[in-house]
């Protein structure tokens, strides 16, 4: 059972389009992380957000943490084929323990 | 190597067989985690070590699962009497005490 719900489950878009992935929970987290996982590999950390309402930008990626620290979103501007992958959000409720969502599979078509 | 190394990459086991999965963390990383990732799902926490001490094993699905890290570096996840529901990718991750998690590529276990 996953504490974090991600939507949509699958997303297929054309190169150059924008996309948003959502991560929601009924639990409050001390921090929330976003990972990208490619087939046959482990997840790779993209960003950690800690403060409610925080917005972080990483090139074409924008991450937002909800005011109540229960939800988050990832927005990609002008998506490229290299953005293709499984995007996972993970909430930290203790110093070490992460609870992952089921992930959103993003496919960017050239 | 510079990253977390897991072996084997793939393991096929007959139901009832015992398996051992190995994880070599990044040198100097105090914390080590095991996660289980079923097909189409996110990773699920199994267990956590700080050096050689297993501080949390609350995620281990049954007493058939056992993990150890005797010298505070390499860790082994052992599954006894494997069942079909054990089929999954087993991910190992390491970090400094409160730092970024670095994941290995995982071991894909298929139980027939």
Chain B nearest C-alpha distance from A99 (Å): 7
**Mean pLDDT, residues A80-85:** 96
Test B48 with A101 for CB contact under 8 angstroms.
Answer: no
pLDDT at A30: 85
**Cα distance between residue A1 and residue A101, in whole Å:** 9
Task: Report pLDDT digits (tens) over A1-47.
Answer: 568 999 999 999 999 999 999 999 988 888 899 999 999 999 999 99
Chain B nearest C-alpha distance from A32 (Å): 12
The shortest CB-CB distance from B43 to any of A43, A44, A45 is to A43
**Cα distance between residue A103 and residue A9, in whole Å:** 7
Residue length of chain A: 110
Provide the percentage of residues in chain A whose pLDDT is more than 90: 81
What range defines the domain where residue B74 resides?
Answer: 5-99
Nearest chain B residue to A87 by CA distance is B42
**Could you tell me the pLDDT band of residue B2, with boundaries at 50, 70 and 90?**
confident
The answer to whether position B112 is within a domain reads no
**Mean pLDDT, residues B47-59:** 95
Task: Report pLDDT digits (tens) over B78-90.
Answer: 999 999 999 999 9
Range name among A91-105, B3-17, B61-75 with the lowest pLDDT average? A91-105
The answer to whether position B91 is within a domain reads yes
Test A101 with B106 for CB contact under 8 angstroms.
Answer: no
CATH number, domain of B43, equals 2.60.40.10
Interface test with B, best of A42, A47, A88, A95 (most B CBs within 10 A): A42
CB contact burial B50-61 (16+ within 10 A = b; e otherwise) = eeeebebeebbe
The answer to whether position B88 is within a domain reads yes
Are B93 and B26 a contacting pair, CB within 8 Å?
no
The answer to whether position B107 is within a domain reads no
What mean pLDDT value characterizes chain B?
Answer: 95
**Cα distance between residue B23 and residue A67, in whole Å:** 38
The answer to whether position B109 is within a domain reads no
Please name each of the domains of chain A with its CATH number: 5-109 (2.60.40.10)
The pLDDT of residue A86 is above 70: yes
**Mean pLDDT, residues B39-53:** 94
Q: Which residues in B1-64 belong to E strands, given as ranges? A: 5-7, 10-13, 19-24, 31-37, 44-50, 53-56
pLDDT at A96: 77
The answer to whether position B108 is within a domain reads no
The answer to whether position B47 is within a domain reads yes
Structurally, how many domains does chain B consist of? Answer: 1
Test A42 with B56 for CB contact under 8 angstroms.
Answer: no
The shortest CB-CB distance from B103 to any of A4, A42, A99 is to A42
Chain A nearest C-alpha distance from B81 (Å): 24
The pLDDT of residue A95 is above 80: no
**Mean pLDDT, residues A58-85:** 95
């Amino acid at each position: 059972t996953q504490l974090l719900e991600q939507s949509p489950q699958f997303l297929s878009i054309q190169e150059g389009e924008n996309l948003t992935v959502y991560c929601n929970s009924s639990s409050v987290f001390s921090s929330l992380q976003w990972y990208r996982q490619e087939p046959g590999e482990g997840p790779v950390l993209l960003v950690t957000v800690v403060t409610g309402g925080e917005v972080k930008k990483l090139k074409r990626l924008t991450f937002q943490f909800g005011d109540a620290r229960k939800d988050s979103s990832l927005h990609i501007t002008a998506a490229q084929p290299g953005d293709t992958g499984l995007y996972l959000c993970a909430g930290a409720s203790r110093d070490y323990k992460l609870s992952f969502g089921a992930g959103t599979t993003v496919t960017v078509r050239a | 190597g510079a990253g977390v190394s897991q072996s084997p990459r793939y393991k096929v086991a007959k139901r009832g067989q015992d398996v051992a999965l190995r994880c070599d963390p990044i040198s100097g990383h105090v914390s080590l985690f095991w996660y289980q990732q079923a097909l189409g799902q996110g990773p699920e926490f199994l267990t956590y070590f700080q050096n050689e001490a297993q501080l949390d094993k609350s995620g281990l699905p049954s007493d058939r699962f056992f993990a150890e890290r005797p010298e505070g570096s390499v860790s082994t996840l052992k599954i006894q009497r494997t069942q079909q529901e054990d089929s999954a990718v087993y991910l190992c991750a390491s970090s400094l005490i409160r730092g970024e998690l670095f994941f290995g590529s995982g071991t894909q276990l298929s139980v027939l």
